[in-house]
Amino acid sequence: FESTIESDSAHLWPAVEALLEADLEIHCLRDLTRGGLAAALLEIASSARLGFQVEESRIAVEEAVAGACELLGLDPLHVANEGRFIVILPAGEASRALEILKETAPGGSRAARIGKVQSGEPGEVRMVSLIGVERILDRPSGEQLPRIC
């Protein structure tokens, strides 16, 4: 039996090691295990006193995940993503980092530049939606699915 579905608990070290060995000016690496992409971005923005702008159209959400989230009333940006991480580095190094991730990361073919640091309210993450409307990402209110592993 073979499956094309990738594990959600992929080994991240090969990709992280490749990024570090490339001598990129990495400001932050953060896995998405607890709280998903939104929580990671909000925590980084808050602790670094920065603002971020992210483009919803650049965030890869598999169709099965989007469908399950819709059925359960969850936001895919707030769902834990084991085996995935974000890297924050200068814009001039983004292309090189993407090349490395596409070669070394599990699911690396979907690696993407999803946003940028922006001036504005420190700790704020703004999302530009698929239709171009900007909204502020907040922490989820209520409970998400509990971890089962």
CB 27 within 8 A of CB 19: no
Q: What is the pLDDT of residues 46-59, one digit of tens each?
A: 999 999 999 999 99
Q: What's the gap between Cα 30 and its chain centre?
A: 9
pLDDT digits (tens, 9 = 90+) for 76-118: 999 888 888 999 999 999 999 999 999 988 778 889 999 999 8
Whole-model pTM over 0.75: yes
pLDDT digits (tens, 9 = 90+) for 126-149: 999 999 999 999 886 655 555 554
pLDDT category at 119 given cuts 50, 70, 90 is: confident
Residues 6+ apart with CB under 8 A from 75: 38, 69, 140
d(CA 130, CA 115): 14
Pairing, β 28-32 against β 125-128: unpaired
Q: Do residues 54 and 114 make contact, with C-beta atoms less than 8 angstroms apart?
A: yes
